[in-house]
């Protein structure tokens, strides 16, 4: 009798674990809404409660455990492994990250603005490819995320190349030249909340932060999606725009990056 009870409890726990660990993640990876609901809502809350820590803190733990200090590529690899094997997180990810790398390497920018730092994954990717004396300013309005990102960037040995500024993009963009001594940006990586892409692009134009040849690279233009922004950069004669098809980070859901060259 007791044996039967113990076996059925163990069997039930094994089924639940298999559902949580493999079956549901595999089932939701083709569906944008379900994937975000599962990873970003259910799993994150569950693990936050069970571990009394936050996802960024757990990601930082994985970096400290698995990446080599001063080696940016090992930091990127440790985060990708954490996100593929343990917990999904909203970094640009390995697949779209390769497109980001190729744009950075082609442009060889001296000044870069990143909108949306989160844990510093894309910051590390970009900064590790910049030429000497180049400057990357990254904006993050969540102080908890910013605190983790600073440690991730420092672990990668890139703190001298990166200026992480805490605050909202809409407040900081108009202060770029006066407070941060940057007149124009060669590259802007837009990866903050999606409803800010268009207003912040217009704000950068108004503030004269874009020059002929400046590149806007926008993440998540399909998932969660930025329809007004896409319509604007694709229709405007001031931009030459190109879509790079890919997948939402660590899933099989379609997503992509939009590269838009400012024509002046
Ligand atoms: C998708 S995550 C950024 C991911 C990061 N670029 C990467 O690939 O590793 C978006 C981040 O933007 C931040 N954010 C959203 N809107 C913002 C705004 N208006 N100003 C500053 N940060 C913002 C959020 O707090 C969040 O951390």
Query: pLDDT of 169-221, one tens digit each?
Result: 999 999 999 999 999 999 999 999 999 999 999 999 999 999 999 999 999 99
Tell whether 240 is covered by a domain.
yes
Tell whether 123 is covered by a domain.
yes
Annotated catalytic, 249? yes
Tell whether 4 is covered by a domain.
no
Q: pLDDT tens digits, residue range 133-145?
A: 999 999 999 999 9
Please give the distance of CA 147 from its chain centroid, rounded to a whole number. 16
Confirm or reject: Cβ of 247 under 6 Å from ligand 1: no
Nearest CA to ligand 1 atom 25: 142
pLDDT higher for 22 or 255?
A: 255
Q: How many domains are there within the chain?
A: 1
pLDDT at position 18 is 80
Q: Which atom of ligand 1 is nearest to the CA of 92?
A: 8
Q: Which atom of ligand 1 is nearest to the CA of 121?
A: 9
Q: How far is the CA of 238 from the centre of ligand 1 (A)?
A: 26
Tell whether 208 is covered by a domain.
yes
- Phi, psi (degrees; rounded to nearest 5) at 238: -85, -5
18-22, 65-69, 90-94, 133-137 — which is least confidently predicted?
Answer: 18-22
Tell whether 161 is covered by a domain.
yes
Tell whether 130 is covered by a domain.
yes
Confirm or reject: Cβ of 122 under 6 Å from ligand 1: yes
Q: pLDDT tens digits, residue range 1-45?
A: 778 888 888 888 888 888 788 878 888 888 888 988 999 889 999
Point out the catalytic residue in the list 186, 220, 255, 258.
Answer: 220
Tell whether 141 is covered by a domain.
yes
**127, 185, 192, 200 from 207: Cα distances, Å:** 24, 11, 19, 10
Annotated catalytic, 206? no
CA distance 124 to 71: 10
Annotated catalytic, 220? yes
Annotated catalytic, 219? yes
The residue range of the domain holding 115 is 93-262
**10, 92, 119, 152, 250 from 96: Cα distances, Å:** 40, 6, 17, 20, 10
The token pair that represents 97 in the structure block: 């990250």
Q: How far is the CA of 118 from the centre of ligand 1 (A)?
A: 5
**39, 89, 149 from 86: Cα distances, Å:** 11, 10, 19
Tell me, what CATH number does 212's domain have? Answer: 3.40.50.150
The token pair that represents 142 in the structure block: 């969540």
Q: How far is the CA of 147 from the centre of ligand 1 (A)?
A: 13
Tell whether 211 is covered by a domain.
yes
Q: pLDDT tens digits, residue range 151-183?
A: 999 999 999 999 999 999 999 999 999 999 999
The position carrying tokens 């990866």 is: 191
Contact yes or no for 138/117 (Cβ under 8 A)? yes
Nearest CA to ligand 1 atom 4: 91
**64, 97, 192 from 115: Cα distances, Å:** 25, 15, 5
pLDDT at position 6 is 83
**pLDDT above 90: percentage of residues in the chain:** 84
């Amino acid at each position: 009798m007791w044996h039967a009870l113990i076996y059925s409890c163990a069997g039930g726990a094994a089924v639940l674990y298999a559902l949580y660990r493999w079956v549901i993640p595999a089932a939701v990876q083709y569906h944008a809404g379900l994937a975000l609901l599962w990873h970003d809502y259910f799993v994150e809350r569950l693990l936050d409660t069970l571990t009394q820590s936050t996802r960024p803190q757990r990601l930082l733990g994985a970096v400290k455990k698995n990446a080599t200090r001063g080696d940016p590529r090992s930091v990127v690899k440790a985060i990708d492994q954490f996100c593929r094997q343990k917990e999904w997180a909203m970094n640009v990810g390995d697949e779209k990250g390769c497109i980001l790398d190729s744009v950075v390497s082609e442009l060889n920018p001296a000044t870069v603005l990143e909108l949306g730092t989160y844990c510093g994954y894309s910051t590390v990717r970009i900064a590790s490819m910049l030429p000497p004396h180049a400057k990357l300013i990254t904006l993050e309005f969540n102080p908890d995320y910013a605190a983790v990102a600073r440690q991730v960037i420092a672990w990668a040995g890139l703190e001298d190349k990166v200026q992480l500024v805490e605050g909202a993009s809409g407040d900081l963009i108009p202060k770029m030249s006066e407070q941060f001594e940057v007149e124009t940006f060669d590259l802007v990586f837009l990866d903050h909340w999606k409803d800010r892409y268009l207003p912040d692009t217009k704000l950068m134009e108004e503030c004269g932060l874009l020059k002929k040849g400046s590149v806007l690279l926008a993440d998540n233009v399909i998932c969660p999606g930025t329809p007004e922004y896409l319509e604007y950069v694709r229709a405007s004669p001031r931009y030459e725009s190109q879509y790079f098809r890919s997948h939402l980070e660590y899933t099989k859901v379609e997503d992509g990056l939009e590269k838009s060259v400012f024509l002046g």
